[in-house]
Amino acid sequence: MGNHSETPSRKTPWHIYPPTYGELDWLVPYDGENAVIHHGHRDPDDHSECGPSLFCCEKSRELFTKEFPNSAEAGASWGITSAEHIASWIERGVTLLYFVFCDPVRPKGLLAGGLSGEAAKQALFKEIPLEDFADLATRIL
| pLDDT mean by block of 10 residues, the chain; 141 residues | 43 88 97 89 69 96 97 96 97 95 93 95 95 91 95
The whole-number pLDDT of residue 38 equals: 84
The whole-number pLDDT of residue 62 equals: 97
Complete DSSP assignment for the chain = ---GGGS-----TT----TT--TTEEEEEEETTEEPEEE--SSTT--TTEEEEEESSHHHHHHHHHH-TTSTTTTSEEEEEEHHHHHHHHHTT--EEEEEEE-SS-TT-EEEEEEEHHHHHHHHTTSS-GGGGGGGSEE--
In a domain, 7, yes or no: no
Q: What are phi and psi of 91, to 5 degrees?
A: -60, -25
How many Å is the Cα radius of gyration of the chain? 14
In a domain, 13, yes or no: no
CB 36 within 8 A of CB 29: yes
The whole-number pLDDT of residue 35 equals: 96
In a domain, 104, yes or no: yes
In a domain, 52, yes or no: yes
CA atoms within 13 A on the CB side of 127: 9
The whole-number pLDDT of residue 10 equals: 59
Can you give the residue range of the structural domain that contains 38? Answer: 24-139
In a domain, 115, yes or no: yes
Number of domains into which the chain is organized: 1
The whole-number pLDDT of residue 12 equals: 80
In a domain, 109, yes or no: yes
